[in-house]
Structure 1
Amino acid sequence: MRWTFLKAVNDIRRRKIRSLLTVVGIFIGVAGIVAIVATARNLEEAQRYNYANASQDDLRWWVWNNTETTEYAISQLSNVAAVQRRASYVTKFRAGPDWFDVTFYGYADYASLKVNKLDFVEGRPPAKGEVAFEQSTRDLVPGLKIGDQVIYRYGPNNTEARFTISGFVRTPSSPSAAILNFTMGYTTESDVQKMLGIPGDNEILLKVYDLASRDETRREVENIFQKRNLQYGGFAARDPDNFLGKQELDTLVLLLLAFSGVGLVISGFLVANTLSAIVTEQVGEIGTLKALGAVRRQVLEVYFITALLYGAVGSILGVIGGFVLGKFLMGYLGTVVNFDVNRFSFQPEALYLGLVVGLGVTLLAALVPAWSGTSISVRQALASYGINSTFGQGWLERGLARLRGLPPLVALSLRNLARRKTRNLVTFGVVALSCAAFLAAQSASTSVGTTITELYDIYGADGWVQFGTLQSDNFAERLKTVDGVVASEPWSRGRLTVKASQVDLYGVPYDTALYQKPVVEGRWFEANENNVALATTSLAAAKNIKVGDTIDVEAGKVRGQLTIIGLLEDNSKYLGSTSAGKLFTSYQTVERLFRHQGRSDFFAVSFTAHDKTSVDRTMAAIEARYKDLTPSTLAAYSDKASAQQITAILQIMLYAMVAIIALIGGIGVINTLTLNVLERRREIGVLRSLGGSNARLVQIFLVEGLMLGLLGFVVGLALGYPLAAALVGIIGENTFPLTFVFDPGMILLTLFFALALSGAASLLPALGAARVRISATIRYG
């Protein structure tokens, strides 16, 4: 064992650059896996920590004008651990010329919060006339600081008032305001009650002992509301294993793991190439060892120890680097979902996985070259030297020799690549996987972006207007009188329970011009057609709903039935949505279900101009005209921008992984061409003695690298399409169905990527070849 270990160490030390490149490849592959697994586990722990330490609400209701007596009555229920009243008001604020959406929350005493505790990261709790903003508000409105004044609107006439900023808080499990395109501000209870125009609060939040009994607790609480004749609704139950944006984060982590797996496979190829080169170089030594009595097991032991040393060093460094990288990744993603990420902890699972995968892939990759190399007989080993004497006799070499019309450099490079078929084939694989990953990343990000554009194109509205009180459906005609408004329609919306799942319900006119009616099966509803609906294809697939089915629906206390007359290809979801899909019906049907026939508080509007400035100007005109009705507006571009923010995060992370994979691929090309240069030093010396210039030598190896890139690109196309389809499928399965995009522009860009990668990686060994001296090559061997 001792001599085999010493020989393995000596082999590694003899080729320092090659060994370094191999270790770096393993390091990158392992670091990627460890970083992603550690980040995913820490995100889960951060969610549990935030849930436990912020005492996030389990149950929540909108309860108009509730008082302390209601809070006390609820606190006496056996399953209630804590009750918290608060006042909330949705409006807009500005610190400059632009208005932003905000929800103000008012608490009586910030020091004694029992549910949804806040972490003041800067400043102090607000006094009367002050506000503490969610910390990510500064991503939405850069430059905000303590002491600044902001203007907000409230009341029937949209009266403007001022708040002074007293601090900034972290709101548990609320994504960044820049992603949501709205924010939260915390002020005094009396300030929000003034906005509402009531002496009490309008929300009640509960923390319960036993989540399994929450349905019974809900009934008990709502009985209290009914006995006190309180208006209530908007019930929401929190899933402790979920948080806003978790589904999207889980999808991102899954994609990153897939790309890390590709990187690790490429690292395995590097090990295989390195071991193959060592074995090829040492064929004579293998023959000598066998002649001296060494058995195959002992010779195999040498190369497995070599692989184990590569794997151990690369894996240990990869684990360390992975945890460091995971800390930064956790910081970035934690900021996105607004978690306290200062508690990044060591994850044993990531350590074990990194070591097992790193060592396992390395040893597995070493198996084939070690086994094939040690199978050679003593006679063959001692008689072998350099390039095989049968070179040029195989079908590949003969085929390349018949090629005519190729530039001399290209022809020479192709024939040189055929001299080490296995090594260069593995390198083709490395480049091919890098190209496939790049192609898949392009396809995935483009597919998401294209789908978002298509989904928003289904909605022809430039925005939506919601009023504080219900208005007649005919109010849509009044909205058309506002300068810049060309179309307005009464819409209705709500949440239904269908087959034990939450479903988003939309009511639109039968002849709507602001919804494109993407019917893929069945038909659209007609005028005066009641109790019929169209389901989105995602809902139909999830709940096994077919055209012609009659489904039971529940909206609070109201139960009814809807007959499905068609299916729609409209499967978009908002951030954090737990909805199984959508139902579309007439707005009259929705109004009947929710008991406000002939009245709506939600209107879709379309404008003469669709650019951001014009949309904002027209929205402001609507708000000014009807300020006594407390309108709130949502621009379609703003909603779309929120979705594109999430897409941008996906793109950043995907291309970061592609960059890592490309780095490993580049190392593979450098490794291969460096080996080629070392093996052909005599040829280089002969070329130089015949007058070959440095530039010509650089060109030879540079073209070899480019040919590796070109051939790898061809194979990468074959791998890239199914990989892209798989990634798009993963995203679609976990978010919403995507339109698969795979266009010629991506192929051309991937070709450029392959040539740039292989060309850049070829420069170092090519320049090394140019520095080889004739005298050194004469003494070589």
Structure 2
Amino acid sequence: MLDYALVSPRWRKVLADLWGNKLRTLLVVLSITVGVFSVGMVYSSYLMFERDLALSWKTAAPASASVYADPFDEELVDSIRSLRGVKEAEGRRNVDLRVHTANGEWRQMFLTAIPDYNEQKVNLVRSQSGVWPPGDGDVLLERSSVAELGVTTGGSIQVETSAGRKRTLKVTGTVYDSSQIPSLFSGRSYGYINMDTLEKLDEERRLDQVNFVVEPWVLQGKETAPIEAVGRRAWSKLEQGDTTVFWLQVNKPGEHPLQGIINALIMLLTVLGVLSLLLGTFLLVNTVSAILAQQVRQVGIMKAIGARRNQILRMYLILVGAYGVLALAVAAPLGALAASAVTGFMAQVFNFDSGGLELPPKVIMLEAAAAIVVPILAAIWPVWRGTGITVREAVSDYGLGSVAAKGRLDTWIDKLLDKLKRLPRSVLLSLRNTFRRKWRLALTLLTLTVAGTVFMAVFSIRASLYSTLDDALDYFRYDVSVGFTENYRATRIEHEVLKVPGVKAAESWGFSSGRILRDERKLSEDDASKNVFILAPPVGTTMIQPKIIEGRWLVSGDESALVVNTEALKDSPQLKVGSPAVIKVGSRKLVFTVVGIAKSTLTGPIVYAPYPWFTGAIQEAGGARSVQIVAQSTDPQDQSNLGRKLEEHLKKNNLRVQNVDITWEQKQRIRSQFDILTIFLLLMAVLLAVVGALGLMGTMGINVLERTREIGIMRAIGASGVAIGKVFVVEALCIGVLSWLLGAILALPVAALLSYQVGVLFLQSPLAFSFSFLGVGIWLALSTLLSVLASLLPAWNAARLSVREVLSYE
């Protein structure tokens, strides 16, 4: 072990500064650690996401696109496989039904039948446990659905078919399907069966989905347009087979469907991580400035015995580097563990395989730069300024006299305090001391204000997400929606629905899917739009309330009128109020006149046509595929029970139900998805709050050291320990409240900007901004609490100083 006596005096001083004031060292190391931890965690998480998500998606042989339609024969899959540009195509059958969960609830379930599990080539479903492939009457559960259903391998599930019959399926294993949206997001469970089981579920042995992969020469980087062109030809092939196509889903080449959401989340976390690092750096600058102010005499003595400025500069910069090394030793492993935990959680939420803990060299290098290089660069100016003092200035420094001369701010504060003479003297002293070291106050306020601004902005983002959701669902004026597997007479549907107790009103709607063409020519089909949903409600409907931003809504007497929402306009910008619109529905080309444009929020591309004219045009006059119901009760649970009763009644009366959606349940499910985002943002905001609290604690600790002689004078004239401690607690409270006030002012524009960006990143449109006064109130309480906690230890240290100790203080 190296003998301490052999260490040169200057390095002994560095060690003494590190070890001699353990609290200060701890605060500085913690402040740097939080920033380095945040940056390391975010970057490691990004690399792990990039590695794991890409690998999970690639090994699944993902489809370039998928086409969904009414049931069709397998021969049509062969015709799509023969299209130019298609490398491989496979068909599947999806059955939407109800499943009875372990907790006694009936929920939606999606069962997928695959013709040959051992010959899969597109969107591979991989066995995780149990029997492979599923036998007749068996089901394999997708792993993200196991917890939702509360059943394990060897158990069984009870399902209810669209015809109303209950069937029991044995769970013989679990599988992983990376192409499925996880149950947490979709709100439904997933299972996999063979084609023979379809008949037991009252379904035809036919297909309704085609997944295809394009040839490599079709692809043009990450562009989806070439795939869409092939998809439109596949759409036409299915239509030629006399089937109705509902949807064309195109995947960005080599990218997971949820990659955009994850990248946006990582970007937001990166911004907050960099903020944590910057705030930690500000705290370091504050601390280094205070150390130099406290050690003015030491600097003078070193210069008096021959030390050069560059030697002293190097000594203090090495001290800063030592703080960084200690911070790196703590932050690097913690950041890796946190990144692994975050990736594991995200893998569960977004349903991909996590590769586990990893600490790449590039992350270590970034953390080392954040822990050592950034603090040293930030400390150069305060150290250079502090070491520039002359010997005469250093030896004449007495602490009290070192306070800068009064400026305009000091004069204004003195006048204000003169009007507040009725306040206790200790409180007046605290208020005056708050503005004594303005540079230090500015850095401390900056740290706390940024933390508070981000914290309050996160609450406003949450409020804006909820406000956007409320606006979107305000479009729906019904409580329950029932969809059918085929077209039924609207009068029959409404007659049966109104028989169910609890139904207040019902409306049957026409429904179809199509593509918007530029004109009626055959050639225009090659550059048709993506799919749009066509809703045909009664003209005087009260079940929806679209927000018309141009033109008008459908009125009585309209025939070929069309209202287009803004989502549909993204793909067909040529549509204007008064212009013609050609929509291909099946083999028919319907010509409309656009009479209005409606705002779209979370509803997808939709166009609206008058019910009588549209159902007649597609030869389904008087028919409907869905019915919307308003419940008599406004209680959510009553509405859920009504949905179940409606489903049972309709199935008993030979109406094949495809799905039952409860509006409030949809709202709750989307809110839970939004909460995942806000929880992540809130965690990072809490990290910023921790940095701010550490900064305030460091500031108060330095203030105690600087005012040691003043404390002695107060002690000598009879001040108690409680009175002295109260001075520092009140001073910290003043700083906390002032930072809250500044943060509240800044939170409004910052929250508006962040809400806009979050909306564009996650929903492809700005959020309906709503400022959260709840967040302002919570941060006021938190900043007050943090201020008190941060000042307790410095105040206690000040309160226990004796007169003898302060008289001997240098």
> Is residue 2:514 matched to residue 1:484?
no
Match of 1:328 in 2: 341
Match of 2:67 in 1: 61
Structure 1 stretch displaced more, 180-189 or 771-780: 771-780
Once the two structures are TM-superposed, the CA of residue 728 in structure 1 deviates from its matched residue by: 0.6
> Is residue 2:42 matched to residue 1:36?
yes
Once the two structures are TM-superposed, the CA of residue 541 in structure 1 deviates from its matched residue by: 7.7
Match of 1:444 in 2: 461
Match of 1:276 in 2: 289
Query: Deviations for 1:545-591, whole angstroms, at most 9, x for unmatched residues?
Result: 78536365554665556544444344225xxxxx5x54444345664
Structure 1 stretch displaced more, 417-426 or 351-360: 351-360
Query: Deviations for 1:195-233, whole angstroms, at most 9, x for unmatched residues?
Result: 354344443333344252646755776687678777766
Q: Do 1:174 and 1:337's aligned partners in 2 also have CA atoms closer than 8 Å?
A: no
Normalising by structure 2, report the TM-score: 0.87
Q: After superposition, where does 1:658-697 map in structure 2 within 5 Å? A: 658-697=685-724
Q: After superposition, where does 1:9-88 map in structure 2 within 5 Å? A: 9-62=15-68, 80-88=86-94
Q: The residue matched to 1:384 in structure 2 has which SS?
A: coil
Structure 1 stretch displaced more, 643-652 or 530-539: 530-539
Q: 1:504 to 1:439 in 2, by over 3 A?
A: farther
Q: The residue matched to 1:525 in structure 2 has which SS?
A: coil
Q: 1:390 to 1:314 in 2, by over 3 A?
A: closer
Once the two structures are TM-superposed, the CA of residue 270 in structure 1 deviates from its matched residue by: 0.8
The match for 1:113 among 117, 120, 129 is: 120
The match for 1:154 among 155, 161, 186 is: 161
Q: 1:710 to 1:200 in 2, by over 3 A?
A: closer
Once the two structures are TM-superposed, the CA of residue 329 in structure 1 deviates from its matched residue by: 0.7
Query: Deviations for 1:172-200, whole angstroms, at most 9, x for unmatched residues?
Result: 14343133211111122210244354344
Q: Do 2:54 and 2:256's aligned partners in 1 also have CA atoms closer than 8 Å?
A: no
Rounded to whole Å, the distance in 1 between the matches of 2:348 and 2:308 is: 59
Unaligned runs of 5+ in 2: 1-6, 220-225, 518-527
> Is residue 2:664 matched to residue 1:647?
no
Q: After superposition, where does 1:593-604 map in structure 2 within 5 Å? A: 596-604=620-628
Match of 2:152 in 1: 145
Rounded to whole Å, the distance in 2 between the matches of 1:329 and 1:777 is: 50
Q: Do 2:38 and 2:335's aligned partners in 1 also have CA atoms closer than 8 Å?
A: yes
Rounded to whole Å, the distance in 2 between the matches of 1:48 and 1:468 is: 36
Structure 1 stretch displaced more, 655-664 or 737-746: 737-746
Q: Do 2:251 and 2:257's aligned partners in 1 also have CA atoms closer than 8 Å?
A: no
Match of 1:576 in 2: none
Q: 1:64 to 1:512 in 2, by over 3 A?
A: closer
Q: Do 1:251 and 1:730's aligned partners in 2 also have CA atoms closer than 8 Å?
A: no
Match of 2:222 in 1: none
Match of 1:127 in 2: 135
Rounded to whole Å, the distance in 2 between the matches of 1:391 and 1:542 is: 65
> Is residue 2:546 matched to residue 1:528?
no
Q: 1:122 to 1:513 in 2, by over 3 A?
A: same
Q: Do 1:106 and 1:192's aligned partners in 2 also have CA atoms closer than 8 Å?
A: yes
Once the two structures are TM-superposed, the CA of residue 666 in structure 1 deviates from its matched residue by: 1.0
Rounded to whole Å, the distance in 2 between the matches of 1:192 and 1:593 is: 33
Question: What do you get for the CA RMSD once the two structures are aligned?
Answer: 3.3
Match of 1:753 in 2: 782
Q: Do 2:484 and 2:655's aligned partners in 1 also have CA atoms closer than 8 Å?
A: yes
Give the aligned residue type for 1:369.
Answer: P
Match of 2:382 in 1: 369
Once the two structures are TM-superposed, the CA of residue 521 in structure 1 deviates from its matched residue by: 3.7
Query: Deviations for 1:281-317, whole angstroms, at most 9, x for unmatched residues?
Result: 2222333444455554444333333333333443454
Once the two structures are TM-superposed, the CA of residue 634 in structure 1 deviates from its matched residue by: 0.9
Give the aligned residue type for 1:615.
Answer: Q
Match of 1:184 in 2: 190
Structure 1 stretch displaced more, 195-204 or 497-506: 497-506
The match for 1:102 among 97, 101, 109 is: 109
Q: 1:87 to 1:534 in 2, by over 3 A?
A: closer
> Is residue 2:323 matched to residue 1:314?
no
> Is residue 2:160 matched to residue 1:136?
no
Q: Do 2:494 and 2:627's aligned partners in 1 also have CA atoms closer than 8 Å?
A: no
Rounded to whole Å, the distance in 2 between the matches of 1:759 and 1:374 is: 34
Rounded to whole Å, the distance in 1 between the matches of 2:546 and 2:210 is: 39
Match of 1:260 in 2: 273
Q: After superposition, where does 1:407-426 map in structure 2 within 5 Å? A: 407-426=424-443
Q: After superposition, where does 1:446-525 map in structure 2 within 5 Å? A: 446-475=463-492, 477-478=494-495, 479-491=497-509, 492=511, 494=513, 496-497=515-516, 500=529, 503-525=532-554
Q: The residue matched to 2:347 in structure 1 has which SS?
A: helix
> Is residue 2:716 matched to residue 1:699?
no
Length, aligned pairs only: 773
Once the two structures are TM-superposed, the CA of residue 699 in structure 1 deviates from its matched residue by: 1.8
Query: Deviations for 1:738-767, whole angstroms, at most 9, x for unmatched residues?
Result: 221225443333221211111122122222
Q: 1:768 to 1:606 in 2, by over 3 A?
A: same
Rounded to whole Å, the distance in 2 between the matches of 1:11 and 1:173 is: 58
Identity %: 25
Normalising by structure 1, report the TM-score: 0.90
Rounded to whole Å, the distance in 1 between the matches of 2:771 and 2:242 is: 59
Q: Do 1:435 and 1:753's aligned partners in 2 also have CA atoms closer than 8 Å?
A: no
Structure 1 stretch displaced more, 481-490 or 452-461: 481-490
Query: Deviations for 1:704-754, whole angstroms, at most 9, x for unmatched residues?
Result: 111110111122122222221121111121214322122544333322121
Q: Do 1:140 and 1:181's aligned partners in 2 also have CA atoms closer than 8 Å?
A: no
> Is residue 2:598 matched to residue 1:568?
yes
Q: The residue matched to 1:128 in structure 2 has which SS?
A: coil
Q: 1:532 to 1:23 in 2, by over 3 A?
A: farther
Once the two structures are TM-superposed, the CA of residue 319 in structure 1 deviates from its matched residue by: 3.5
Match of 2:809 in 1: 780
> Is residue 2:322 matched to residue 1:305?
no
Q: Do 1:91 and 1:101's aligned partners in 2 also have CA atoms closer than 8 Å?
A: yes
Structure 1 stretch displaced more, 332-341 or 408-417: 408-417
Once the two structures are TM-superposed, the CA of residue 38 in structure 1 deviates from its matched residue by: 2.5
Q: Do 1:387 and 1:419's aligned partners in 2 also have CA atoms closer than 8 Å?
A: no
Rounded to whole Å, the distance in 2 between the matches of 1:481 and 1:426 is: 70
Once the two structures are TM-superposed, the CA of residue 268 in structure 1 deviates from its matched residue by: 1.5
Rounded to whole Å, the distance in 1 between the matches of 2:138 and 2:212 is: 26
Match of 1:617 in 2: 641
Give the aligned residue type for 2:298.
Answer: E
> Is residue 2:172 matched to residue 1:166?
yes
Q: The residue matched to 1:388 in structure 2 has which SS?
A: helix
Q: 1:70 to 1:740 in 2, by over 3 A?
A: closer
Give the aligned residue type for 1:639.
Answer: Q
Once the two structures are TM-superposed, the CA of residue 56 in structure 1 deviates from its matched residue by: 2.3
Q: The residue matched to 1:626 in structure 2 has which SS?
A: helix
Match of 2:739 in 1: 712
Q: Do 1:316 and 1:355's aligned partners in 2 also have CA atoms closer than 8 Å?
A: no
Q: 1:64 to 1:476 in 2, by over 3 A?
A: closer
Q: Do 1:555 and 1:593's aligned partners in 2 also have CA atoms closer than 8 Å?
A: no
Give the aligned residue type for 1:733.
Answer: V
Q: Do 1:172 and 1:339's aligned partners in 2 also have CA atoms closer than 8 Å?
A: yes
Rounded to whole Å, the distance in 1 between the matches of 2:207 and 2:619 is: 25
Query: Deviations for 1:365-404, whole angstroms, at most 9, x for unmatched residues?
Result: 3244223323433432332232335556333333333312
Unaligned runs of 5+ in 1: 574-578
Q: The residue matched to 1:340 in structure 2 has which SS?
A: coil
Once the two structures are TM-superposed, the CA of residue 109 in structure 1 deviates from its matched residue by: 4.4
Q: Do 1:47 and 1:173's aligned partners in 2 also have CA atoms closer than 8 Å?
A: no
Q: 1:589 to 1:248 in 2, by over 3 A?
A: farther
Rounded to whole Å, the distance in 2 between the matches of 1:397 and 1:227 is: 84
Q: Do 2:337 and 2:357's aligned partners in 1 also have CA atoms closer than 8 Å?
A: no
Q: 1:740 to 1:224 in 2, by over 3 A?
A: closer
